[in-house]
Amino acid sequence: MYKPTIGLEIHVQLKTKTKMFCGCLNISSSEIAELRGLNVELRGKSEIKPNTNICPICTGYPGTLPTINKKAVESVLKLGLALNSEIPETSKFDRKNYFYPDLPKGYQISQYDKPLVIGGSLNNVKITRIHLEEDTARLLHTAYSLVDFNRAGIPLMELVTEPNIKSGEEAVEFARELQLILRYLEISDADMEKGQMRIEANISVSKNSEFGTKVEVKNLNSFRAVKEAIDYEIKRQSEILDEGQEVKHETRGWDENKKITVSQRLKEKAHDYRYFPEPDLPILDLTDFDLGKLKAEIPELPLQKRERFLKEFGLMPEQAEILINEPRLAEYFEKSVSELFSEISENGDKNKHVKLLFNYLTSDFKGLMNEISLSIDDIKIIPENFADLIVLIIKGEISSRLAKEILREMAASGLDPRRIIVEKGLIQISDEETIKKAVMEIIAKNPKAVIDYKKGKENSLQFLIGQAMAELKGQTSPDILRKIFLDYLSK
């Protein structure tokens, strides 16, 4: 057995209004592409038309001058503050020189020895640095090769971790938590499928405490690919060492179809990018930034929210996680729960009530949202009304079947559930005769359940009520049914 060591390099496109060094719009966010109405079908996907969102600066014309996007710098500083990193007093941009057709200037403006953020940690993984650079153009290889400069100059943040991750699973946990934080801070949508978040994994294995030769794996387009590629490399490298051979220092790519890594290039000598300070940009004095204000803008982060939700609401970890992954839904949940508590005075069954609300929110409510394609911000049901609906269910005034119907009406009209019940005459069957008739019928049809109940099986009563409710098409209250059943069954 060998000891695996993993370090990650993660690139993230930042959600700013404009690009990193020019005034072009930042089309990494799909809303802006929509807004410009420049979408076209490209390789089966709707995308902004190539080379329509460019200017002399981001296409690298000689004689043009870059200016620093302040919002991009602030975004990286904010992330640094959220990860308890050090923000140095000064920071500087450098030119990273290399030739590739996606790099119009022949160099990329990046940061070398003075990044914006140093150190910090997340999930017990130490962070080395976070710096800022410009994204490159995109090469599209179809019948011919096309260079699309729309992406060139989009603010790109790079986070590098120390090599202290021990498995593919840990690497994915780290990357997922980072993605959540980026979304909570609203500095990136960090969608891996859209290339807004790109992960490179460095992997080595060794028998002793010294590090082995590392291999860098690129083309990881999903969290699953990150895990599979790391697991694959650990196995591949271990087998090489078992055979008494040496692991080559190289860059490999993940082949998603074959589920293997393949060699891309050997790294026998270190790449020399001839970094030097970008002469067209000033050294950044980070003491000019209001770090106190940036810190105050940081919302409750996933870790704290997770702990609080478990403690405050007694949810199961898997349940809490659903809300942690959807902060807007979590906010709605919290508002509804507080409305619910203000209406239900007995606190004994607090956790049970919260669970009921949670279940309705994540099943019926979310299902309805998907069905009518509305987001939580646009749906007409306000948390107060949603809580009222749950109160009606708890009090046994409506069946779960009727609750579904009322919920639908609430989404259509925005009215509160009681008004809908009255206006739509939804509890139609309130006359006792009809209900009694149904109860007697169900009792006659289910002699075994009746006997079971009399022997003490509470569930049998529940079953009988359910049958009668179905008979009455859900149009009565479970409480009235229960009362009438108890009447008959005690005779």
Applying the rule CB under 6 A, the residues between 7 and 36 that interact with ligand ADP are 7-9
Q: Nearest-5° angle of CA 228, CA 262, CA 253?
A: 65
Work out what residue 204 binds among Zn ion, ligand ADP, none; the CB cut-off runs from 5 to 8 Å by kind.
Answer: ligand ADP
Nearer of residues 55 and 118 to Zn ion, judged by Cβ? 55
Work out what residue 403 binds among ligand ADP, Zn ion, none; the CB cut-off runs from 5 to 8 Å by kind.
Answer: none
Contact range with ligand ADP by CB under 6 A, out of 155-163, 366-374, 392-400, 478-486: 155-163
Does 111 bind ligand ADP (CB under 6 A)? Our answer is no
Does 163 bind ligand ADP (CB under 6 A)? Our answer is yes
Applying the rule CB under 6 A, the residues between 187 and 206 that interact with ligand ADP are 202-204
Q: Smallest distance from the beta carbon of 271 to ligand ADP, in angstroms?
A: 8
Applying the rule CB under 5 A, the residues between 26 and 55 that interact with Zn ion are 55
Contact range with Zn ion by CB under 5 A, out of 23-31, 76-84, 351-359, 420-428: 23-31
Q: Smallest distance from the beta carbon of 168 to ligand ADP, in angstroms?
A: 13
Work out what residue 98 binds among Zn ion, ligand ADP, none; the CB cut-off runs from 5 to 8 Å by kind.
Answer: none
Nearer of residues 173 and 339 to ligand ADP, judged by Cβ? 173
Q: Smallest distance from the beta carbon of 87 to ligand ADP, in angstroms?
A: 21
Q: Smallest distance from the beta carbon of 191 to ligand ADP, in angstroms?
A: 22
CA-CA distance, 397 to 419, in Å (whole number)? 14
Q: Smallest distance from the beta carbon of 333 to ligand ADP, in angstroms?
A: 37
Nearer of residues 182 and 203 to ligand ADP, judged by Cβ? 203
Does 6 bind ligand ADP (CB under 6 A)? Our answer is yes
Does 161 bind ligand ADP (CB under 6 A)? Our answer is yes
Nearer of residues 134 and 173 to Zn ion, judged by Cβ? 134
Nearer of residues 152 and 407 to Zn ion, judged by Cβ? 152
When CB distances to ligand ADP are compared, the closest residue is 7
Applying CB under 6 A, among 95, 114, 151, 214 the residue interacting with ligand ADP is 214
Q: Smallest distance from the beta carbon of 64 to Zn ion, in angstroms?
A: 9
Residue 145 CB burial class (10 angstroms; 0-12, 13-18, ≥19) = exposed
Nearer of residues 28 and 161 to ligand ADP, judged by Cβ? 161
Q: Nearest-5° angle of CA 49, CA 50, CA 53?
A: 85
Applying CB under 5 A, among 22, 187, 330, 472 the residue interacting with Zn ion is 22
What count of other Cβ atoms lies within 10 Å of the Cβ of residue 355? 16
Does 261 bind ligand ADP (CB under 6 A)? Our answer is no
Work out what residue 55 binds among Zn ion, ligand ADP, none; the CB cut-off runs from 5 to 8 Å by kind.
Answer: Zn ion
Closest by CA position to 83, among listed 298, 285, 328: 298
Nearer of residues 17 and 293 to Zn ion, judged by Cβ? 17
**134 to 153: interface string for ligand ADP, x by CB under 6 A:** --------------------
Does 24 bind Zn ion (CB under 5 A)? Our answer is yes
3-state secondary structure the chain: CCEEEEEEEEEEECCCCECCCCCCECCCCHHHHHHHCCEEEECCEEEECCCCCCCCCCCCCCCCCCCCCHHHHHHHHHHHHHCCCECCCEECCEEEECCCCCCCCCEEEECCCCCCEECCEECCEEEEEEEEEECCCEEEECCCEEEECCCCCCEEEEEEECCCECCHHHHHHHHHHHHHHHHHCCCCCCCCCCCCEEEEEEEEEECCCCCCCCEEEEEECCHHHHHHHHHHHHHHHHHHHHCCCCCCCEEEEEECCCCEEEEEEECCCCCCCCCEECCCCCCEEHHHCCHHHHHHCCCCCHHHHHHHHHHHHCCCHHHHHHHHCCHHHHHHHHHHHHHHHHHCCCCCCHHHHHHHHHHHHHHHHHHHHHHCCCCCCCCCCCHHHHHHHHHHHHCCCCCHHHHHHHHHHHHHHCCCHHHHHHHHCCCCCCCHHHHHHHHHHHHHHCHHHHHHHHCCCHHHHHHHHHHHHHHCCCCCCHHHHHHHHHHHHCC
Contact range with Zn ion by CB under 5 A, out of 5-13, 58-66, 272-280, 317-325: 58-66
Applying CB under 6 A, among 55, 68, 147, 160 the residue interacting with ligand ADP is 160
CA-CA distance, 89 to 219, in Å (whole number)? 35
Work out what residue 161 binds among ligand ADP, Zn ion, none; the CB cut-off runs from 5 to 8 Å by kind.
Answer: ligand ADP
Nearer of residues 155 and 212 to ligand ADP, judged by Cβ? 212
Give bridge partners of residue 110 from the DSSP assignment.
94
- Interface residues with ligand ADP (CB under 6 A)? 5-9, 160-163, 202-204, 211, 214
Binding site for Zn ion (CB under 5 A): 22, 24, 55, 57-58
